[in-house]
Structure 1
Amino acid sequence: MDLPLIVRQCTDQDLLALTEEEPAGAGVARRMLQRQRDGRVFFAAAWQGPVPLGTVVLDLHATYSPEMKNLFVNPTRRGEGVGTALCDWLEAKARTVGFDHIYLGVGKDNDRARGLYIRLGYRSIGESTSCTYNYVDEDGSTKTATELSDYYKKPLC
């Protein structure tokens, strides 16, 4: 019997399990937990037993705020509702803390994610942005990427 999928806010006790699911040296979970302690974000994961299947961040201080960021689902678990569950949890959290809408940016070339967001009720606001950032790839090498994204918004009421 499969264990249920549970989405919840991450805690410091989750760091080891989260770190095991990211590229060596990436430090994403550690940074997000610190930003959460600083009150800048909510950081959540979808769990099946002790294994995180995906993560998402609600940034409370983004240019478009609040903004859903860094939605990630383990590639072997995509198409199973994990991304939808993470989005649903994040939207409920945004409502709980008093927001009546939520934004997100989606890469211009990320058609799969765009389709999910449109299905969930997000609509383009007609604005785009470019962001350059460093990341650690699966081999543990630091790379630089530039992402062009379109912004979407969803009412939460």
Structure 2
Amino acid sequence: MAEEIVVRRCVDGDVDALEMTEPPGSGITRNLLRHQTAGSIVYAAAWQNHQPVGTVVLDLASKHTPELKHLFVQEAARGSGVGTALCDWIEDHAARAGFDKLYLGVGIENHGARRLYERLGFRPTGQTTTTTYQYVDDDGQKQWATETDDMFEKMLAA
């Protein structure tokens, strides 16, 4: 039987474990922790058997505030409830912070994520955004990508 999924805010002591799940030299964890310290995001991870199995960000400074971003579940943990647990945690955090809506963008071709978000009660807003960004691939090489997302929103419980 799999151990319970525990979701919590990331802290400096999580750096070593979280860096093991990201491309070499990408600095994702350290960058997100810096932004969290500055107050612009909340960075959370799902843990199972004392190992990180997924992460998510609540962006408090985006055009669509608050915005759920960067939901990632380790491939071996997909389909086990980790994504739902991360979304539930972020929704609860946003509601406790006084927000009445939560936004997210989902890639127009990311049908699996779209199904998850719709199942969790997110609905399309009719807005589409296109973003070009740089990232570090699994081999540690910098790459550019352009992503077109449909924006979704969900009313939060008071």
Q: Specify the alignment match of 2:71 in structure 1.
A: 71
Please list, as runs of the form range in 1=range in 2, the aligned pairs for 1:31-70 lying within 5 A after superposition.
Answer: 31-70=31-70
| Alignment-derived partner of residue 112 in structure 1 | 112
d(CA) in 2 for partners of 1:10 and 1:107?
25
Q: Check the 8 A contact 1:17/1:50 in 2, yes or no.
A: no
For structure 2, the residue ranges without an aligned partner over 5 or more in a row are none
User: How far did 1:26 drift?
Assistant: 1.1
Q: Distance in 2 between matches of 1:12 and 1:96?
A: 23
Instruction: Give the CA deviation at 1:37.
Output: 0.1
Structure 1 runs, 4 residues or longer, greater than 6 Å off: none
TM-score by length of 2: 0.97
User: Which amino acid is 1:123 matched to?
Assistant: R
Could you tell me which residue of structure 2 aligns to residue 143 of structure 1? 143
SS at match of 1:52: strand
2:81 corresponds to 1:81: yes
Displacement of 1:75 in angstroms is 1.0
Q: How many residues align?
A: 157
Superposed CA offset, 1:37-80 (max 9, x none): 00000000000132100000000010000000000000111111
Whichever residue aligns with residue 75 of structure 1, its letter is: E
**Which residue of the partner structure matches residue 126 of structure 1?**
126
Q: Distance in 2 between matches of 1:64 and 1:133?
A: 18
Q: CA deviation at 1:5?
A: 1.0
Question: 2:102 and 2:46 mapped to 1: Cα distance?
Answer: 20
